[in-house]
Structure formats: C-alpha cells, structure tokens
Amino acid sequence: MLGVEETIAGTEAAQIPKQRGESLLETAVRYAEERHWDVFPGTWLEAVDGVQHCSCGDPACAAPGAHPAREDWATQATGSATVARRMWQKQPASSILLPTGRTFDAISVPESSGFLALARMERMELTLGPVTLTPSRRMEFFVLPGASVKVPDLVRKIGWSPASLDLVVLGEGAYVAAPPTRFGSRGAVQWACRPTAANRWLPDAEELISPLAYACGRDR
C-alpha cells in the first residue's frame, strides 16, 4: 500500500513543493511557480489563552484556520508567484487554499476508502496525480478539470448509484486546502501521494473512478 508522505524530498526536490523547513509563504509561491496551481490565502490560527482559534472569530468554526477569509476568494486566487508572495507577506500565517475547477478537480472520498483505492490503483499500475489526506479524514485525488460533470455518469455506468457513495467531486466554485495547512488542533493536511515531476500531467477521472467507486461501495 502506498504510504502517507508529509514531506517531499529526493532528487526531484527542485521541481516540486517542499514542506518541512519552508514557510507557508514559500510553499504557496512554489505551488504557483512550479506546479502552476492557482493559490489564495485563507484564514489562519490565532492563539488565545493557549488555545488555537480561527481568525474568522467563530468559536464553532468547522475548519479553523483552513477556509476562505473573504467572499470573493475566487477572484483573489492567482497563478502568479509574485502576487502570491505579496498576498502571504500581508499575513504569513494564512492557510494555503487551491481553487478547483481550474487546473484540476478533486475527487474526495473517506480516508478508509482512499487507502483501499490506493492499494487497488497500485496493483493496477495506474498513474496517479497528487492526493491529499486531510485532518477531517478525507482523501482528495487530483484529476483533470471537468470531473464534476463526468463522474455521476461514470459511476452509473459501472453499476453504482452516485447518491449511495460517499464520493464528492470538487470542481468550479470549490477549493481544497493544501499541505501543510493546519485545521486547528486536528492536525495538518498531508500528501498521501506527493506532487512529483512524474505526475505533473494529471489523470482523467475516468481512469480512477472504478477503484474509487469500488472502495467507497465496500466502505458503506
């Protein structure tokens, strides 16, 4: 089974985003500069009496320090490393958020289903794009844009009802939190499959949907 990799290292390090030892600003700039992903700064964590709270001020925030800080976040997102650097310089603790529906969509499944699907994909020798593992125990598989339109029909064609599976496609108007963004005290987003030079070209949703749907069906 593929292991979770929180840090990115090795011979390809000059081409891909690192995490350990880098600031959020540096990481956001690398996502924009080296992966050509749009990025935008989200909320951040603030310590109050030793407890981490979301900068939004909501004590019951569902994603503390890991959601958009403003309503017009979609227009704020940028693929320019220069603009990204300028935005994070204003608030270096801001989370790193990536809008979906632009350079990629993301297929989100429960963590247990994701690990099962990863094992099947490895046996099938499928080429994966990056995959995140979130503190809310979800895995997000990066695929080519357009998956949000295709996936319901693809799921039906292989014999499943979309409504019966805990499989969600994040496309236009949605976003994902990128490593090493933290969700309050719950921990940080990690890479289950790290970005590398080999997976710069993303798979189509059609290539991954069968093992993902199977895993979600088994996990019901």
Which of the four pLDDT bands, split at 50, 70 and 90, describes residue 6?
A: very low
Check: CB of residue 121 under 8 Å from CB of residue 215: no
Q: How does pLDDT run across 8-32, given as a tens digit for each residue?
A: 333 343 354 455 557 999 999 999 9
Q: Express as a percent the part of the chain with pLDDT over 70.
A: 90
Computed over every residue of the chain, the mean pLDDT equals: 90
The Cα diameter of the chain in Å comes to 54
> Residue 1: pLDDT above 70?
no
Per-residue DSSP letter, 13: T
Distance from C-alpha of 46 to C-alpha of 50, rounded to nearest angstrom: 9
Amino acid found at 101 = G
Per-residue pLDDT, averaged over 29-56, amounts to: 93
Q: How does pLDDT run across 156-209, given as a tens digit for each residue?
A: 999 999 999 999 999 999 999 999 999 998 999 999 999 998 898 999 999 999
Q: Express as a percent the part of the chain with pLDDT over 90.
A: 83
The C-alpha R_g of the chain, in whole angstroms, comes to 17
Q: Which residue has the higher pLDDT, 218 or 87?
A: 87
Distance from C-alpha of 204 to C-alpha of 141, rounded to nearest angstrom: 11
Beta strands (DSSP E) in 3-48 are 40-41, 45-48
Residue 183 C-alpha from the chain's centroid: 13
- Predicted TM-score (pTM) of the model is 0.89
What pLDDT is recorded for position 21? 59
> Residue 67: pLDDT above 60?
yes
